[in-house]
Amino acid sequence: MDERSTQSDLAGAKRTKRAALLMGGVALVAWLPIAVKSYWSEAQVYRSQRRPIPRPEDVPEPFEEATFTAPGAGALRGWYFPSTSGAAVVLVHGSQSDRRSGLVEARSLWARGIGALVYDAPGHGESEGEVCWGEADRQALRAALGFVRARPGVVSSRVGVVGFSAGGVIATQVAVKDVDVRALALVGTPTDLRALTHHEYRRWGWLSVGPALLALTVHGAELDFEPPRQLVSAFAPRPVLVVTGEDDGVVTPGMARALFDAAAEPRQWLSLPGCGHGQWAEQGGQAYTGALTAFFARALGAP
C-alpha cells in the first residue's frame, strides 16, 4: 500500500469519527430535554406538599379535627366523621394530594353510619414529615387505624381501608398484615411502581423511562418493595373492591384489572365509564359512592 493510499484511509477514518461524534452530540442534545423533563416531572411527587387545609363549609356536623402521631412522620392531621354503627373506614389519599380528596367518600360512608377518617399523609397538607411513600406512610396509616379504633363506639375488628392511587399501595401493604382490617378498597391503584413508571413515561422508551426511574431511586422510592399485585391475594378471605375509571390514563383499566385478577375471592370489580384518574367521585357520582359505601356496609356489618 503506497503512502497516498494510507493518508486517504486515515483521512476517511477521521471523517467517520467526526461524523460519529457529531451524530452523538446531536442525539445527546435532543435527549437532554426529554431526560430533564422526565426526571423533573417524577421528582415533583417527592417535593413537600404541605399547605394549609381550610375547614370545608359544607361538611356536616358532628365533625372532629383529628391529630395523632406516627414514628418517622411526626404529627398527622385530618378530619374524622364519628361512627354510629360500630364500623369505621380510614381513607388514604394519593400523591400530590391531601385529605380533601376523600371527602365525598367520607360523607357517603358517614351518611350510612360508618365512621370515616381522612388525613394528610406525611409531608402533605398540614401533616409533618417528609414525602416518601414508604415506611413513614405505613406508620402513618397504622397510627390512623389506631386513632379510629380508639374512637367511642368503634369496634376495633370492624374497620376498613380505602387507598387511592399511591395511597392504595400503602393501604395494601398495611391492611394485608393487619388482621383486624376487615375490608379493603383499592381505587385507581397500580400493580407496582415500576410498571406504573414504565407506562407513564413510555413515549420515548428508555430515553424517558430511565430518567424517571433515576428520579425515583434518588428520592428513595421502593420500586420493588411489596407491590400490590404480589400482596393482594393474601388479604383473603377478607373482601377486596378494585375500582377503575375507564378513561384513566395513569393507572389504566388494564393495570387495575391485573390487580383484580391477582386478588383472591371474595373480590368485587367496579369500572366507571367516563372517569379519569382522580376523578372517581366527581365523574362516577352515585354509581361510585353508592357501590363503595355498600361494599363497606356489607363487609363491616353496618345497617
**What confidence tier does 1 reach under pLDDT thresholds 50, 70, 90?**
low
CA distance 138 to 212: 24
pLDDT at residue 60, as a whole number: 63
Would you say residue 2 lies in a domain? no
Q: Residue 31: pLDDT above 70?
A: no
Torsion sign over Cα 207, 209, 214, 215 = positive
User: pLDDT > 90: what percent of the chain?
Assistant: 81
Would you say residue 172 lies in a domain? yes
CATH number of residue 51's parent domain: 3.40.50.1820
pLDDT at residue 63, as a whole number: 81
CA distance 191 to 207: 23
User: pLDDT > 70: what percent of the chain?
Assistant: 89
Q: Residue 25: pLDDT above 50?
A: no
Whole-model pTM? Answer: 0.89
- Of 62-66, 193-197, 223-227, 288-292, where does mean pLDDT reach its minimum? 62-66
Which residues constitute the domain of residue 290?
47-192+227-300
Would you say residue 210 lies in a domain? no
Would you say residue 160 lies in a domain? yes
- Bond prior to 71 in cis (omega within 30° of 0): no
Q: Residue 4: pLDDT above 90?
A: no
For the segment 201-222, the average pLDDT, to the nearest whole number, is 91
Torsion sign over Cα 211, 212, 217, 218 = positive
Would you say residue 203 lies in a domain? no
pLDDT at residue 24, as a whole number: 42
For the segment 13-23, the average pLDDT, to the nearest whole number, is 50
pLDDT digits (tens, 9 = 90+) for 67-92: 999 999 999 999 999 999 999 999 99
- Residues whose CB is less than 8 angstroms from the CB of residue 169 and which lie 6 or more positions away in sequence, other chains included: 133, 163, 189, 190, 193, 227, 228
pLDDT at residue 204, as a whole number: 84
Q: HSE (CB half, 13 Å, CA atoms) of 130?
A: 9
Between strands 159-164 and 181-187, the pairing is: parallel
Q: Residue 229: pLDDT above 90?
A: yes
Q: How many domains does the chain have?
A: 1
**What confidence tier does 21 reach under pLDDT thresholds 50, 70, 90?**
very low
Would you say residue 22 lies in a domain? no
Between strands 240-245 and 64-70, the pairing is: unpaired
pLDDT at residue 29, as a whole number: 47
pLDDT at residue 56, as a whole number: 83
CA distance 229 to 250: 17
Closest by CA position to 209, among listed 226, 225, 194? 194
Mean pLDDT of the chain: 90
Would you say residue 294 lies in a domain? yes
Would you say residue 213 lies in a domain? no
- Of 4-8, 148-152, 185-189, 284-288, where does mean pLDDT reach its minimum? 4-8
pLDDT at residue 34, as a whole number: 82
Neighbours of 233 (CB within 10 A): 15
Q: Residue 271: pLDDT above 90?
A: yes
Neighbours of 53 (CB within 10 A): 17
CA distance 168 to 176: 12
